Structure 1
Amino acid sequence: MIAYAFMLPFLVLLVIFHTWPVIFGTYLAFNDYNIISPPKWVGLANFKELFADEQFWSGLRNSLKYILVVPVIQVVSILVALLVNRPLRGIGFFRTAYYVPVVTSFAVVGLIWTWMYQQSGPVNAVLMALGLMKEDHSLLNNPATALLAVMFVTLWKGIGYYMVLYLAGLQSISPELEEAAVIDGATRPQVFWNITLPSLRPTILVCSLLSTISAIKVFEEIVVMTQGGPAGSTYSVLFYSYSRAFQDFKYGLAAASSIIVAIISILFGIINFRLTRGGKVDA
């Protein structure tokens, strides 16, 4: 009873801010609700309207495209974690520096990067100098580059978070295993592929799952930087839910789209478990 008493404050908050919204949101998906009138049961009508809405499919396609950032951010985070896992003088400063973007508000990050992506901004100057851009134009105003530009900001901001998780995973690996492999004649790449990477499999599962769900649910980046434009090129499925709820006051339709997002997230979670065999390390 003492243990449950300590858990009670958290459990109450969990029910109020998580469990009840999930239950009520699922109920609203089968109702016509505009926050003024009482919910009116409409069955599957919201889902039928949802699947007939091209804007929903456009947002879903962009959200699925956003998943392409997941393998990139995982590879880069592992490399950075390997880099800062060395006992060098001042390494704590570099670990902190990589983590600073994580704790920075996305409102600030979005405004800074929006300015950097402007025409004649610093990003354009670098791309023009490298010969990667021929015409000086804003990356966020070009439908061909807007989504990639926003994805890069997500990559830049998220590296530090996953770096910390991978760093914890690296420091949990027994040094004796790597030392024994080196004594047996294994090279550094062989140690990484045969010992380090398999030992990181549970961490890779967690990080891949978290980043996949975050990619599907991308919202803050879109709101702050593009508002779904230009020409809907960055319009995400969660931004669709937000627009239907708080602009059109179609809360039932918004809840229905959120259920689709939840189902897709669960499916990708299952795929992650399958690919990493539940995060288990080979014997």
Structure 2
Amino acid sequence: MSESTPTGSTTSARGSSSKAAARGGSRRHAGVDVVDEEHRIHEGTGFAAWLFVLPALAVALVFVIAPFVNTVRLSFTDATFARPGSFVGLEQYRKMLADPAVHTGLLNSSLYVICVVPFMVILPLILASLVSGNSKILSFFRASFYLPVVVSTVIVGLVWTNILAPKGVVNAALKSVNAIKEYIPFLTDRWLLLFSAMMITIWTGLGYYMIIYLAALANIDPGLYEAAEIDGAGVVRRFLHVTVPGVRSTMVLIMLLSSAAAFRVFNEIYVLTGGTGGVGGQDVTMTMLVKNYGTGLNAKYGYAGAVSMLIFLIVGSLIAIEFLIERKMSKDA
């Protein structure tokens, strides 16, 4: 009887260890099953994500990437409407840099950026600050300022063409009060036409950028305005020291968007000049040059491609500079 006890305890210990091993094995198998299941779920989610992204990638490939690659290719050829052309290296770029029309287009497009962008950054912010609120009258003003955005630029240009015509509303009003003796040539003078187009661009773009600013203003803590008001800050000081710092990143974004849009301006100039680019083509812009050289039976696809690449490089440089400014401002903040 005294020898049976160790044997029984040994048997029970072995049974316990076997059960523990079985439980450990089952836990290990369960862990492996969970990992496999998570892996399968991850693979399934990744595949579904690609299915959602695929249509956008297909659109970008067909309408953005492929045309861009083709434009780059054409810029190194002498292709025209009549023939596919052959490789000519940098010849089209050399011709472009010596072309007086390109010089005029660069000057006009650069002036457009310099004159339009400051108004596009500042005026919409002021408007957004004035119309931000929940009252019905402010909603009416927001809708009124946004209305030109939804109207076609061509229609806007035609309306302003009639307003600025020699016997249009502006000249007739000035003539009726004897403010002028002769009609002002808004549509035939080079600089007056260019600045008239800038005014139309600013007028049509105010509402769009105002909406972007309204979204940024909604993220500013109202307590900051209350604290500034308690400290005795007036409307102007609250605007400069609370509103402007609060929308600083948005201002850089709008500077970027408006710079790219201003350099690529087309509709306003095209409609006001009737597609001629002004008297002697003096008001032609870079985008109009692409249209002039790249369409019609006399189209020079290779040359138009070179002009397009110049526009791409300039706009890309503007975006890069403003991106660097944004990064520096973010680090300093």
TM-score of the superposed pair, with normalisation by structure 2: 0.80
1:273 to 2:327 alignment: no
- Relative to structure 1, the CA distance from residue 21 to residue 208 in structure 2 (aligned partners, 3 Å threshold; closer, same or farther) is same
- Relative to structure 1, the CA distance from residue 144 to residue 37 in structure 2 (aligned partners, 3 Å threshold; closer, same or farther) is closer
Deviations 1:162-213 (A, max 9, x none): 1111111111111122222222333322222122101111111111111111
1:245 to 2:291 alignment: no
- Relative to structure 1, the CA distance from residue 281 to residue 170 in structure 2 (aligned partners, 3 Å threshold; closer, same or farther) is farther
Q: What is the DSSP-based 3-state SS (H/G/I as helix, E as strand, rest coil) of the residue aligned with 1:58?
A: helix
1:182 to 2:206 alignment: no
Between 1:133-142 and 1:54-63, the stretch displaced more is: 133-142
Note the 1:83-162 alignment, pairs <5 A. 83-128=130-175, 133-162=180-209
Structure 2 residues not aligned, in runs of 5+: 1-46
User: How many Å separate the matches in 1 of 2:201 and 2:97?
Assistant: 28
1:170 to 2:217 alignment: yes
- Relative to structure 1, the CA distance from residue 151 to residue 276 in structure 2 (aligned partners, 3 Å threshold; closer, same or farther) is same
- Relative to structure 1, the CA distance from residue 134 to residue 164 in structure 2 (aligned partners, 3 Å threshold; closer, same or farther) is farther
Please, which of 68, 75, 87 is the counterpart of residue 22 of structure 1? 68
Please, which of 41, 49, 55 is the counterpart of residue 95 of structure 2? 49
> Match of 1:19, as an amino acid?
I
> Match of 1:6, as an amino acid?
F
Deviation at 1:106, TM superposition (A): 1.3
> Which residue of 1 is the match for residue 254 of structure 2?
207
Deviations 1:70-128 (A, max 9, x none): 10122111111111113333322211111111111112111111111111211223445
Deviations 1:254-278 (A, max 9, x none): 1101111111112222332344445
1:10 to 2:60 alignment: no
Deviation at 1:132, TM superposition (A): 6.4
User: How many Å separate the matches in 2 of 1:256 and 1:220?
Assistant: 21
Deviation at 1:19, TM superposition (A): 0.8
Would you tell me which structure has more helix in proportion to its own residues? 2
Higher relative contact order (CA 8 A, sep 6+): 1
Give the greater-gyration-radius structure (CA). Answer: 2
Q: What is the DSSP-based 3-state SS (H/G/I as helix, E as strand, rest coil) of the residue aligned with 1:90?
A: helix
> Match of 1:62, as an amino acid?
N
1:31 to 2:77 alignment: yes
> Match of 1:150, as an amino acid?
A
TM-score of the superposed pair, with normalisation by structure 1: 0.93
CA contact (8 A) 2:263 2:315 kept: yes
> Match of 1:163, as an amino acid?
M
> Which residue of 2 is the match for residue 231 of structure 1?
280
- Relative to structure 1, the CA distance from residue 113 to residue 274 in structure 2 (aligned partners, 3 Å threshold; closer, same or farther) is same
- Aligned-pair Cα RMSD in Å: 1.9
User: How many Å separate the matches in 1 of 2:242 and 2:332?
Assistant: 10
Note the 1:189-204 alignment, pairs <5 A. 189-204=236-251
User: How many Å separate the matches in 1 of 2:122 and 2:156?
Assistant: 22
User: How many Å separate the matches in 2 of 1:199 and 1:129?
Assistant: 47
> Match of 1:272, as an amino acid?
E
Deviation at 1:236, TM superposition (A): 0.5
- Relative to structure 1, the CA distance from residue 282 to residue 193 in structure 2 (aligned partners, 3 Å threshold; closer, same or farther) is farther
User: How many Å separate the matches in 2 of 1:104 and 1:279?
Assistant: 36
Aligned pairs, number: 283
- Relative to structure 1, the CA distance from residue 206 to residue 157 in structure 2 (aligned partners, 3 Å threshold; closer, same or farther) is same
Between 1:223-232 and 1:235-244, the stretch displaced more is: 223-232
CA contact (8 A) 1:33 1:252 kept: yes
Q: What is the DSSP-based 3-state SS (H/G/I as helix, E as strand, rest coil) of the residue aligned with 2:187?
A: helix
- Relative to structure 1, the CA distance from residue 201 to residue 234 in structure 2 (aligned partners, 3 Å threshold; closer, same or farther) is same
Structure 1 residues not aligned, in runs of 5+: none
User: How many Å separate the matches in 1 of 2:180 and 2:215?
Assistant: 39
CA contact (8 A) 1:166 1:203 kept: yes
CA contact (8 A) 2:79 2:300 kept: yes
